[in-house]
Chains A and B, each alone.
Chain A
Amino acid sequence: MSELVLLLSSSIDSGTPLLLAALGLIINERSGVINLGAEGLMLIAAITGFAVALATKNDALALLAGAAAAAVFSAFFGFLVIWLNANQYATGLALSLFGSGLSAFVGIHYSQESLTVAGHHGLFSHHYLVYLAVLLTLGLSWFLFRSKAGLVLRAVGESPESAQALGYPVRLIRWAAVIAGGALVGLAGAFVSVVSTPLWVEGMIAGKGWIALALTTFATWRPARALLGAYLFGFITMLQLHLQGRGVNLPVELLTALPYLATILVLVLISRNPRWIAANMPTSLGKPFFPGA
């Protein structure tokens, strides 16, 4: 296989955890809840998934356990911000810090343990979750823009008052969205520690949660665009490593920063046109909802 094909193939592997996390965050944010705790959730899921994989030698179970752990913490986050109306930004940041601390603490005895892995590489031989992520993207697009339930979810994020007036349980819907989205973010975290690099090390998510948050905005809350963004980020990440291997005469520090620079650049280009964002941004994003008011 040519190097380009291999490069594209590994870009997809590299972008998949970002895609999964971004899809989860799109579900959250479409319901009007912004969860800045994605990084912490991914870390919690990563250590949970790794521990389960080590104990059971079962990938699927490990991935599900990671998703479940993140769902539990998301439910707690949702309880604080939806039912108690805690500030979403501050609580999300707290969750992020809490998640990295907790995972480091739990993970002390897992560092430098390692799983043995089966081979997956080549254009059509990825881990099944890579394909599942593409299907999820299509499914979520359909759900959000073609199904009635998706319409209700978006209504809750746009105008919770109207949704309530129509008789929808706004808080319950938001909570469900936060938990479901959190589970997907968790799946992304477990993917990193169980499939991509079957190891645990403190802070191993290394900012992927934050990148996914940025991607969500960059993708203007649309799943298909999140897929493009995630693969683009994966592509540039792998491209800079390939350039290094080819001995390109650029400082390593600059090459390492490239994926982030590219993301910022794209974000800037997107925000040049405020209508792009305004047309898609859930109007009530980040705002608390008081059913009685």
Chain B
Amino acid sequence: MPRFLDRATPACIASSLLALAFMTLPACSKKPSGDAAPSATPAPPAVEPKATEPKADAPLKVAFAYVGPVGDAGWTFAHDKARKEAEAAFAGKVKTSFVENVPEAADAERVIRDMVDQGNTLIFGTTFGYMEPMLKVASDNPKVHFEHATGYKTAANLRTYDSRTYEGAYLAGVVAGSMTKSKTLGVVGSIPIPEVIRNIDSFTLGAQSVTPEIKTKVVWVGKWFDPPKEGEAAQALLDQGADVLMQNTDSSAVLQTAEKAGKFAFGWDSDMSKFGPHAHLASAIINWAPYYQKAIKDALDGSWKTGQVWWGVKDGAIDLVSLSDKVPAATKAKIEELKKGLKDGSFTIWKGPIKDQAGKEVLKVDEKGEDKMLLGINFYVKGVEGKLPSGK
């Protein structure tokens, strides 16, 4: 049995203290967990808040709270890129600032209150976990406008915004459908919430629009960001005959695994072409810049009002970029056509007939899927294999 406090305890204590010191180092944070249960709390009707008229010459002060470091090249990086673009677009009229690595806990409320105290009148919180803190601070500061990414609770001065990632997934699916030889696709899933299920379904629908008999296999890893596990899951899918992979996780591990095996995959959230030059077919990306500029414009001209904003290809928030040379020209042309259709409203992804896994018709011929249904989606479409995990 170890004698816990032995001789030479100073060394032991010193090393323990060192360890404690390092435990308190900034713990890197996670991506928001998406729109967990958007239908649970319906948005209150839009109420026109008192517009805060900026002084004629004083710039509008805008603050951003980020969950991760701006150097993460992923989620937070994309938000910060859009912030810089907005500052440039409104040169002289706005002054932006940000705080990075804000944990999704009590600290968030303190940071956001500080932002208010520093005179910011438009505040963005870029992760799901800031929902409650932002609600609290918003109710105490009715003259300040708050914007919360991926949440579902709103207030008179708190608006939510998110992007239609499933449109990117559908477009990727069209490419996958034209590239697969085994007619089997694989998706590495993170956490079975509606956002991710919607993306898996949309990816499958896109592929089936090219080759109707395509099947999609899904492996869940239970995390947003766990590269070794994502890689192993991707390997399992390849071993089972999938030859084009997609992922709703945040790293490039799936793409790298496909690269090693000589198969195909996509980039997700940001352009990942450099991580798997041979395997990379295209990247489905999110661009926050158009929304940030709209929100700032709203605040500047006094037209800001609450609501739930969900932007997609139409608004320039979602795109499929860096298509590989291996993708046939006809498919590339089709992608352009589909993007055009999404922009002018002539094309709808979720339009019947769409059947669920068991063959039950969920959308009748020409029936369109409402946002409400899409936000709460909890079934696989026909062609997706396996049982949907019950967990949220």
Contact = CB atoms under 8 A, between A and B. Distances in A.
Interface of A: 3, 6-7, 10, 13-14, 80, 84-91, 93-98, 100-102, 104-105, 108-109, 111-114, 116-121, 192, 196-199, 201-202, 204, 206, 237-238, 241-242, 244-249, 251-253, 256, 286, 288, 290
Given A3-B241, A286-B2, 8 more contacts: A85-B7, A90-B12, A95-B19, A112-B72, A116-B259, A241-B236, A244-B386, A288-B6
A94 B19 CA distance: 5
B42 interface: no
A94 B16 CA distance: 5
Given A197-B253, A204-B227, A246-B386, A111 B260 contact: no
B15 A245 contact: no
Contacts of A109: 71
Contacts of A206: 226, 228-229
Nearest to A256: B222
Contacts of A242: 236, 239-240
Nearest to A247: B386
B9 interface: yes
Residues of B in contact with A, size category: 35 or more
Contacts of A105: 22, 25-26
A86 B387 contact: no
A114 B236 contact: no
Contacts of A113: 73
A116 to B, nearest CB: 7
A120 B259 CA distance: 10
B240 A246 contact: yes
A152 to B, nearest CB: 25
Given A87-B5, A288-B6, A245 B390 contact: no
Contacts of B225: 201
Interface in B1-58: 2-9, 11-12, 15-16, 18-28
A253 B391 contact: yes
Given A117-B256, A197-B253, A98 B19 contact: yes
A16 to B, nearest CB: 12
Nearest to A119: B260
Contacts of A87: 2-6, 9, 12
Please classify the interface of chain A as helix (H, G, I), strand (E, B), loop, or mixed, using the class held by over half of its residues.
Answer: helix
A32 to B, nearest CB: 13
Contacts of B12: 80, 86-87, 90-91, 94
A100 B23 CA distance: 8
B231 interface: yes
Contacts of B385: 245-247
A119 B259 contact: yes
Contact of B236 (A197, A245, A290): A245
Contacts of A88: 2
Nearest to A201: B227
A3 B11 contact: no
Nearest to A103: B22
B344 to A, nearest CB: 35
A293 B217 CA distance: 65
Contacts of A116: 256, 259, 274-277
The 5 lowest CB-CB distance pairs between A and B, nearest first, are: A101-B22, A247-B386, A241-B236, A97-B19, A6-B239
Contacts of B236: 7, 10, 238, 241-242, 244-245
Contacts of A253: 222, 389, 391
B6 A94 contact: no
B322 to A, nearest CB: 15
A121 B4 contact: no
Contact of B389 (A14, A241, A252): A252
Contacts of A13: 235
A97 B239 contact: no
22 contacts: A80-B15, A87-B5, A93-B16, A94-B18, A98-B15, A105-B25, A109-B71, A111-B71, A112-B73, A113-B73, A116-B275, A119-B261, A121-B235, A197-B228, A199-B253, A201-B226, A201-B251, A206-B229, A238-B232, A241-B232, A244-B233, A246-B217
Contact of B260 (A89, A104, A117, A204): A117
Nearest to B188: A241
B240 A3 contact: yes
Contacts of A244: 218-220, 233, 236, 386
A199 B227 contact: yes
Contacts of A199: 227, 251-253, 256
B237 interface: yes
Nearest to B222: A256
A112 B251 contact: yes
B69 to A, nearest CB: 6
Contacts of A95: 15, 19
B16 to A, nearest CB: 5
Given A86-B11, A245-B186, A198 B239 contact: no
A109 to B, nearest CB: 6
B219 A84 contact: no
B264 to A, nearest CB: 13
A238 B233 CA distance: 8
B74 interface: yes
A100 B386 CA distance: 36
